[in-house]
Amino acid sequence: MTMGGVARRLRLGMVGGGEGAYIGGIHRHAARLDNNFELVAGAFDVNAARGHAFAAASGIDKARSYGDFREMAAQERLRGDGVDVVAICTPNHTHFPIAEAFLEAGFDVICEKPLTVTLAEAVALQAIVEREKRLLGVTYAYSGYPMVHEARARILSGELGRIRVIQVEYPLEWMATAIEAGGNAQAQWRTDPKKSGRGGSIGDIGTHAYQLAGFMTGLKVESVCADLATFVPGRVLDDNAHVMLRYEGGARGLLWSSQVAVGHSNGLRIRIIGELGSLSWAQEQPNELVVTPLGGVTSIIKRGRADLSAGASCRTRTPPGHPEGYIEAFGNLYAGFAEIVQARIAGRELLPIGRDVPLAQDGVKGVAFVDAVVDSHEGGSVWVRPAYT
Ligand code: NAD
């Protein structure tokens, strides 16, 4: 894997991701994978005592375990060896104040999706990023997979011809019953509009599917028409979403996100049909891309082959046959974020790993998509043009 000429590892701070949290642990694995980052500070939990206990168990210097993210931003700014980059691994409603505090204090930021709970907040963050010339990486994890980059390269090269149809789905089972009422903390904030935002399944996982389709094809959505459903009694937000999409150039899309899809676990998959061929990719078999030319033979293209695109090759660590998966894809995003920061510090051109990485504008598009979908549904499933695409 080609990495930048890293003079030293970047110092990473983390907000959220403490004991029992989900995505923080994935970030920590991803950050370590290529030796680009060292975790040195954090405000790991909404409960300060729990956060300090987690920091102690993780070997973080006691002086750099913070009870509050604002204190962390203020203190780290004063240090000669303060953090370079802060990873935000907290529920959606906290992303804006945390990202704002660190970006305004001059830090680079990696933030979870959806970027914010309102579009105004997302746009405000992008404005700060542009003013401060900082990184705001958004962890749309699936665009870190090598074979997703391979699909993008093939589509952008014209291999499929003009794109006609995009079918993308993200079904999950884990919220098929009211687990939030039984005390599941992760389901509790995801079903609370004040914490999750206007979208339920559409914000939580539909945004991944939307970003994946746009990333692979390079197409912008012109308008969306949505039918949202809330199947589990007592919920306010959607737990199932069907969305029709009209893309620029005439392509049509269909997106399904569901948190009540019994029998499915992270079953993100996409099929893209063009005039000259089609391809499909599924995150449960991420090392394979299935490609069929018009009237031709279906091929399974495997990760690691020597003739794959530069975008796929630079994100590949092991030879074909040794599976790579979710952690490696997440690691590719972290490698890309590290490269962006290191290239800026060194004043040099970006290496390929730092290109085609999800940034602030992608976060804004994701929040605009959720807004458009909910507006469409609330308006009686009318066609709505997202404010940013
Ligand atoms: P979680 O409930 O498991 O963990 C949240 C953590 O944040 C907890 O440790 C909590 O104590 C901490 N926290 C909350 N408020 C805080 C504050 N003000 N200061 C410090 N810590 C605070 O949540 P999760 O499932 O890990 O989701 C977190 C975020 O990650 C969400 O935005 C979610 O959408 C996103 N996510 C992304 C992916 C992906 O593939 N990119 C996957 C899952 C979750």
Q: Is the CB of 17 under 6 A from ligand 1?
A: yes
Judge whether residue 6 has pLDDT over 70: no
Q: What is the mean pLDDT of residues 1-12?
A: 67
Residue 68 CA: nearest ligand 1 atom is 19
Q: What is the mean pLDDT of residues 61-80?
A: 98
Domain 145-318+364-378: top CATH class: alpha beta
Average pLDDT, the chain: 97
Q: Is the CB of 139 under 6 A from ligand 1?
A: yes
Q: What is the mean pLDDT of residues 70-92?
A: 98
Rounded distance from Cα 239 to ligand 1 centre (Å)? 19
Q: Is the CB of 90 under 6 A from ligand 1?
A: yes
Q: Is the CB of 18 under 6 A from ligand 1?
A: yes
Nearest CA to ligand 1 atom 5: 90
pLDDT tens per residue, range 109-143: 999 999 999 999 999 999 999 999 999 999 999 99
pLDDT tens per residue, range 275-314: 999 999 999 999 999 999 999 999 999 999 999 999 999 9
Q: What is the mean pLDDT of residues 76-94?
A: 98
Claim: this prediction has a pTM higher than 0.95: yes
Judge whether residue 364 has pLDDT over 80: yes
Rounded distance from Cα 112 to ligand 1 centre (Å)? 8
Q: In a 10 Å sphere around its CB, with 0-12 CB exposed, 13-18 middle and 19+ buried, how is residue 153 labelled?
A: middle
Q: Is the CB of 203 under 6 A from ligand 1?
A: no
Q: Is the CB of 190 under 6 A from ligand 1?
A: no
Model confidence at 222, pLDDT cuts 50, 70, 90, reads: very high
pLDDT tens per residue, range 19-36: 999 999 999 999 999 999
Residue 47 CA: nearest ligand 1 atom is 11
Judge whether residue 79 has pLDDT over 60: yes
Judge whether residue 42 has pLDDT over 50: yes
Residue 24 CA: nearest ligand 1 atom is 26
What is the model's pLDDT at position 2? Answer: 36
What is the model's pLDDT at position 201? Answer: 98
Rounded distance from Cα 107 to ligand 1 centre (Å)? 20
Rounded distance from Cα 201 to ligand 1 centre (Å)? 16
What is the model's pLDDT at position 43? Answer: 98
Query: What residue ranges do the domains of the chain occupy?
Result: 10-141, 145-318+364-378
Residue 185 CA: nearest ligand 1 atom is 2
The fold of 10-141 is Rossmann fold (3.40.50)
Q: What is the mean pLDDT of residues 363-376?
A: 98
What is the model's pLDDT at position 3? Answer: 42
Same topology, domains 10-141 and 145-318+364-378? Answer is no
Percent of the chain topping pLDDT 70: 98
